[in-house]
Structure 1
């Protein structure tokens, strides 16, 4: 009876973890892949400035979605720690801490978005000054996400390791997650080394597959018994 109760609690924790992870995925897709390009035009700070003024409500939605990513990433990291700490304490700490670093990287982006909105709608009279500041904030946003790829990859290593070692989830799920972590690291290094590699964006594809598989497994099945 005690074991059954413990398993039920673990499954409940796993499903809550999955919910936070799902929220992070949804807010990330909406914020970074959908709304971001509506406001921030790469290489065109003048148009970005115009968008920040004329589409102020959309810009604030983009900012709030960044808040949602930060919060859900932090909570996902905490709940993963809670899920695995009893049997894999060191790995769970690593997973939780590196997940928090992800949240901090995205928070830098959120601060820059908020600053860009503030500057664009401020009383600064010189248009050139506004454009220059917007350009700086665009670079910070881009690089917060870009260099953040190091820890977007790193936090997948302990996650995948625990899955493989514990066998409380499909072993191939863990392997794909680890492969995704490697892909993130290589992709980030290639990008910032200035290497022209046209297939670079595909290196993070295993991470995307693994993370959505993880979300689905957590929500549908939770986690297996320890000895299964």
Structure 2
């Protein structure tokens, strides 16, 4: 395989990775910013129960969006591994594995959502039992995403490290992604340590910036040629 062909294949892989990353972002935004609050009311399982019964179709759309997050997260992890495995195998394995852990964490949330929909629309459970079970599963959903912040942060470390080390994407992209990973870890620890920190939500802002920058770069530019390939091309050009 020629170097040009290899580079074209890498760009194709990068754009497919970017597509799945974008799908993860879209399903996440729709799920949380559009549909989640329409069904799940924090601290109010009674109202959540009412919403699950009266807005069952909306609840199922929210569940399907959670499926979309799980699938797109898993595929993003797999394609990132494929993109980087040839030159950064250990880091690519770490990125892929930690990305798959993210998908498993979200799957726990999806299982809980499916359970509350079934409980809310069941004739075999009393109203009191429904409210209690919904409160439990709603807590699992919230904590799956909350504690999941540990691995949402961790998978950004190998991603940013590869970007910085390879120089095949902007170095500052890698730095911001790593900063975002640190922010996720600190934010999660602060929250579960019970510390009242009003700026806690802003700690994950670098991750949001970095991930959308990564999506855009993958989709529009793909990945740069390796430094060795670029130097060899410059030498060949100079010879002519």
Tell me by how many angstroms 1:125 deviates.
Answer: 4.5
Give the CA deviation at 1:122. Answer: 0.3
Q: C-alpha distance in 2, partners of 1:23/1:101?
A: 18
Give runs of aligned pairs for residues 1-228 of structure 1, distance below 5 A. Answer: 2-227=2-227, 228=230
Q: TM-score, normalised by structure 1?
A: 0.99
Q: Answer whether contact 1:149 1:185 (CA < 8 A) is retained.
A: yes
- Secondary structure at the counterpart of residue 197 of structure 2: coil
In structure 2, how many angstroms separate the alpha carbons of the residues matched to 1:140 and 1:214?
30
CA contact (8 A) 1:124 1:130 kept: no
Runs of 4+ in 1 over 6 A off after TM superposition: none
**Cα distance in structure 1, aligned partners of 2:124 and 2:145:** 28
Report the Cα distance in structure 2 between the residues aligned to 1:39 and 1:144, rounded to whole angstroms: 17
The structural deviation recorded for 1:85 is 0.1
Q: Which runs of 5+ in 2 are unaligned?
A: 231-240
Q: Which has the larger radius of gyration?
A: 2
**Residues 167-219 of structure 1, C-alpha deviations (whole Å, 9 max, x = no match):** 00000000000000000000000000000000000000000000000000000
- How many residues are paired up? 228
Distance 2:125 2:155 in 1: 44
Structure 1 unaligned residues grouped into runs of 5+: none
Counterpart of 1:28 in 2: which secondary structure? helix
Answer whether contact 2:190 2:200 (CA < 8 A) is retained: yes
* Alpha-carbon distance in structure 2 between the residues aligned to 1:134 and 1:125: 12
Report the alpha carbon displacement of residue 123 of structure 1 after superposing the two structures with TM: 1.0
Partners of 2:126 and 2:9 in 1: CA distance? 59
